[in-house]
Amino acid sequence: MQTSKQHGGTNVNKRFADVSAEEIDDIVDRKDSKSTKKCVTSSATLFNEFLRESGVSCDINQCSEATLDEHLRKFYASVRTKKGDLFKTSTFQYLRYGLSRYIKSKTGIDVCQNECFNSSREVYRAVLVDMKKKRLWNY
């Protein structure tokens, strides 16, 4: 398979295109939909707000896995809507998805799979069960 690219006014057939670092970054930026980007941004904002209100000055890039796990445990157990109600399950799952994507992009850690985060995953599941009991379950 050959690709051709306009190069210096002439058409050059090459097997591998000349791709700049900016073009690669652009490809990576475009891979996520607008809704995914919004999910990640809003989840990260909410988690950072939780950390500030908890009096925690934690840069997730420099936070140990054990400390981050503890913060996530507290976050999952305490996060509420602006009115103070529990989120619906779909919103809670949306928050976890966005937060896990955010943390993975910043640290490379997958909080949904890494064994160091078993404790926060257990709290997450327990909150989901509690939501189900309170009839906040939605699909």
pLDDT in tens, 119-138: 999 999 999 998 888 876 55
To the nearest 10 degrees (0 to 180), the angle between helices 89-107 and 65-78 is: 160
Same domain for 24 and 75, yes or no, is no
Whether the predicted pLDDT of 1 surpasses 70: no
Length of the chain: 139
The answer on 58 and 79 residing in a single domain is yes
State percent of the chain over pLDDT 90.
60
Q: Which pLDDT score, from 0 to 100, does residue 59 have?
A: 84
Question: 22 with 38, same domain?
Answer: no
- pLDDT tops 50 at residue 20: yes
Same-domain status, 116 and 53: yes
8 and 59 co-located in one domain: no
Domain count, the chain: 2
Residues 114, 53 within the same domain:
yes
Least confident of 19-33, 69-83, 93-107: 19-33
Q: What is the largest CA-CA distance in the chain?
A: 68
Q: Which domain holds residue 18?
A: 1-31
pTM: 0.76
> Does some domain include residue 138?
no
Evaluated on CA atoms 138, 50, 43, 96, the torsion sign reads negative
